[in-house]
Amino acid sequence: MKILAVSGSLRAASYNTALLRAAAELAPEGVSLEIHPLGDLPFFNQDVEEQGDPPPVAAWKAAVRDAEALLIACPEYNGGLTAVLKNAIDWASRGKPAPLDGKIACAIGASPGITGTVRAQDALRLNLKRTGCDLAPLSDILVGQAHTKIENGVLTDERTRQAIARHLASYVEIVRARR
Ligand SMILES: Cc1cc2nc3c(=O)[nH]c(=O)nc-3n(C[C@H](O)[C@H](O)[C@H](O)COP(=O)(O)O)c2cc1C
């Protein structure tokens, strides 16, 4: 199985992108993870859409459409999603069928604060639901105080690594059961 992975942060030293790199190492046997960059997506604009999806949008929508599994690293800005992630969701909510429709995704998130993106992940669940995509029924992975657990882009905290490994294993089981 291949998991399509996206990070809602464009920051080079992003904690959330670091979680995805850790997830790639911690994925169960036989499961690979491919990070799709979101930085090239233009802001959603219905006028642009009407002219035809620009190449980065077409590539993103095709990747979502083809994905059996989707892992979203969800940073929190002002209690909600980053514009980068919301924009990507908006693009992939368009079309008939919408690329996100019928998918089951899973989320992780990291922040230096104590609550570790809980508000953003709640918002993510609601936003995805509107597109026909569910978040898998798993306990949230909320990596608070990320600056103490991620060093030079590497997730070093062993408990968090184990939690991500368990999370991915449960998620993969859920996806396989839908086959
Ligand atoms: C505009 C802005 C708003 C933020 N709002 C929140 C917030 O509501 N909750 C939170 O835990 N962290 C917040 N932060 C801090 C981010 O969690 C922190 O910058 C984090 O490193 C972003 O994720 P990244 O490391 O993947 O880029 C905010 C940061 C920015 C730049």
Question: What's the pLDDT tens digit per position in 35-44?
Answer: 999 999 999 9
Q: From the CA of 55, how far away is ligand 1's center (Å)?
A: 29
pLDDT at 132: 98
Per-residue confidence at 176, pLDDT binned at 50, 70, 90?
very high
Q: Is the CB of 16 under 6 A from ligand 1?
A: yes
**CATH (one of 3.40.140.10, 3.40.605.10, 3.40.50.360, 2.30.30.100) for 2-177:** 3.40.50.360
Per-residue pLDDT, 134: 98
What integer pLDDT is reported at residue 135 of this predicted model? 98
Cβ neighbors of 52 (< 8 A, separation 6 or more) are none
Whole-angstrom Cα distance, residue 11 to residue 99? Answer: 26
Mutate to test the pocket of ligand 1, among 76, 118, 152 (most ligand atoms within 8 A of CB): 76
Q: What is the pLDDT of residues 69-121, one digit of tens each?
A: 999 999 999 999 999 999 999 999 999 999 999 999 999 999 999 999 999 99
Domain ranges of the chain: 2-177
Reference 127, options 48, 168, 74, 60; nearest CA is: 74
140 CB under 6 A from ligand 1?
no
Helix and strand element counts for the chain (H, E):
6, 8
What are the residues whose beta carbons fall under 8 Å from the beta carbon of 144, sequence distance 6 or more?
110, 111, 112, 113, 114, 115, 116
Q: What DSSP element (H or E) covers 176?
A: helix 158-177
For residue 159 the two structure tokens come to 């408990």
Is the CB of 178 inside a 6 Å radius of any atom of ligand 1? no
With a threshold of 0.85, does the pTM exceed it?
Answer: yes
